[in-house]
Structure 1
Amino acid sequence: MNPMQEIRSVQVTRYVTPLREGGSLPAIAEADDGFLYALKFRGAGQGVKALVAEFIGGEVARELKLKVPELVYAHLDEAFGRTEGDEEIQDLLKASRGLNLALHYLSGAITFDPAVTKVEPMMASIIVWMDAFLTNMDRTARNTNMLMWHNELWLIDHGACLYFHHNWESWPVQMKSAFPLIKDHVLLQEASLLKEADEFCKSLLTQQKLHEIVNLLPMEWLQYEEAQGDPEAAREVYLQFLSWRLKNSFTFLKTALDARAAGI
């Protein structure tokens, strides 16, 4: 079994430009390794929970052999952003001091257009399965959160995954959700191999892999008030949530199959 990819850490050195299309005010920023990143801020509206969702979603996608920009831990020190002229951005930077999350910036990538590019059935099925598994409501025709880069499909922006954590006490119920929102998935009609994708995904995304992914979450992101500030208690909730859905994937698989059949 292959070990998890190591998550690098970078120091953010320059705020380049905001990515206004993102609801959480992400930005293009440069780091001390000389690369540009799409930077997701802990001080944005949904806070560190959006970073947790982004991290888990991205690493699950990587385990399923899907293309995702490299995720890195991105540090902002106290001096960063003092010269920023935009007051809203300066407030965001001040609120985001410490550990944030960034994705390697895919320069020149274009937004995936389902009318232009067709995704082969197995890949489409794996993506639909993954988004149902993660309860990702945000890969619709209106907002695909996919890019074409060098003629390959890349997945971005998983911050809407695992939305149970915005209503923390609901996790035992949401864990068993059949996820009816999968009916709106942009790739559902191309996903003609969902049963095969279920077998494939479960062969790769083992309990051990879930444990490894969740254990990579930084402690400082997990000090939720709802978990009495105990990072390990919060970590255990994510692990139980994901483990149950993996073991009982028929719950959301049937929903996807039925939604696809109804749409044909």
Structure 2
Amino acid sequence: MDKLSLIGGILALCALLLGSVLKGAGIEALWSPAAFVIVVVGTFAAIMLQTHMSTFMLAWKIARWVFMPPSQDRAGVLAKIVEWSNTARKQGLLGLEAQVKDQDDQFIKKGLQMVVDGIEPDAIRNVLETDMHHQQTRDTAAAKVFEGMGIYAPTLGIIGAVLGLIAVMKNLADPSKLGHGIAGAFTATIYGIGLANLLFLPMASKLKALIAEQNESREMILEGLIAIAQGENPRNIESRLSVYVQH
């Protein structure tokens, strides 16, 4: 669990609710079915029109990373790489064959199998770099779904406000309805700007940062496997890859 994201989400909600109370509007002023339909439903409709189904589904799959980011134990992976290097120097590359089936990470499993099979280092690099690029492209496109929602929500909030003001203009003859109508009109703007800046855009930025970290972890794995295939000294491998572990 990412405690910082959890605290940030709670503070964002508190800021909105407490701000409404302190300004005298009250929490009930934030609820508007019409604004919800226009902004929230409209935002989902817009992003569905923009996005491919597979990307849309992946976006909601990785959304949990904001609060439960994927494990990235680089120190542990580095220790494994050094261990594999020692094994390869003592027993040859075939000595790593027993390690392949124990790997849960498909990227590591595929790369280690290629090393065991004696494939040329350049060929290993080409295959794994292609996998890295493809995965990063897919994940980044999914993260941009929330970025797109952050762009559409404020605009739809304005549309909701304009529609609310149109309704107010139709009731100019009845002053008792004006105050409530104007307040309701601006609720849609709050929904749009609030969702964009307190949820969708921060989520997109967090996900893109996590995707970049994942790609960097794969770079470390790639360089380690190539070094093993080239028969480098385990100490040299550890020294060179330790930069990926430093924060």
Superposition TM-score tier, normalisation by shorter sequence: under 0.3
Q: Which has the higher helix share?
A: 2
TM-score normalised according to structure 2 size: 0.28
Q: Which has the higher strand share?
A: 1
More relative contact order, 1 or 2 (CA 8 Å, 6+ apart): 2
TM-score normalised according to structure 1 size: 0.26
